[in-house]
Amino acid sequence: MAGPVIDGIETTIDAFHRDGFRLVQPARGAHRSGIDAMILAASLPDGFSGTLADLGAGAGAAAFAVLDRYPRATAVLYEKSPLMAACARAGLALEGNEHLKDRAQVIEADVSLDGKAREAAGLPRERHDWVIANPPFNDPRDRATPDPEKAGAHVMQPDLLTRWIKTACAIARPGAGLSIIARPQSVVEILEAMKRRYGAISVLPIHPRASKPAIRIVVCGIKGSRKPMELAPPLFLHEDDGGRKVTARAYAVTNGKAALNPWQ
């Protein structure tokens, strides 16, 4: 469905969670949300009722999914791109998203900032109960899109994961959680950045099907915990029969019907 024109950019209105909520996102030339955002949102524990921070929120898909599933949760969406922040605000104003709009705030901010600059940009210390992040994951050496808006959402700059995890820890309350989705090759940098900041770390691989290597990982941790790391049971997206049938677990997770439960 065609959406509003924002700063001269055509948008679409797309339904998620079986029309549980809707999203305004650019029709082309920018990152469009999909299954990664839904998996990330499902990594929060059942019954979550605290304050969520979504780093690099884009049009708001992951944060909206959390709010749709957990009616007592609130969220702050941090997004550097004015266009994507405007899309998130437009999404909150959509008919059908009334159950979200009073529980979410969109702040334009660079989440890679540090120290006082970060706080001045609107990311206060020890404020949030859970932080989620879907950072850019393409290596700069990969063939990059010429579109600067899409490149900013897709291309990983040096130390980007470390800077985002530092921000996540700084803005989280003691005992708060972090969930980050990334490519498997980023696991070493993620775990190194989480060291001495997070414990009870869980690494959950996402496979297209049981016979194929993982294409994503979800890494979760608890700020200040001393519990050891564990590997969680994987999520398989499709049945291993050569077809495109989605597994029952993947369907439930991506449609807001079940939590990912990385510690189970």
The whole-angstrom separation of Cα 185 and Cα 215 is 9
Q: What is the pLDDT along the chain (264 residues), one digit of tens a residue?
A: 899 999 999 999 999 999 999 999 999 988 899 999 999 999 999 999 999 999 999 999 999 999 999 999 999 999 999 999 999 999 999 999 999 999 999 999 999 999 999 999 999 999 999 999 999 975 555 555 455 545 444 445 679 999 999 999 999 999 999 999 999 999 999 999 999 999 999 999 999 999 999 999 999 999 999 999 999 999 999 999 888 899 999 999 999 999 998 876
CB 73 within 8 A of CB 49: yes
Map out the domains of the chain as residue ranges.
Answer: 33-254
Say what the pLDDT of residue 142 is: 55
CATH 3.40.50.150 fits 33-254, yes or no: yes
The dihedral through the CA atoms of 87, 39, 130, 80 has a sign that is: negative
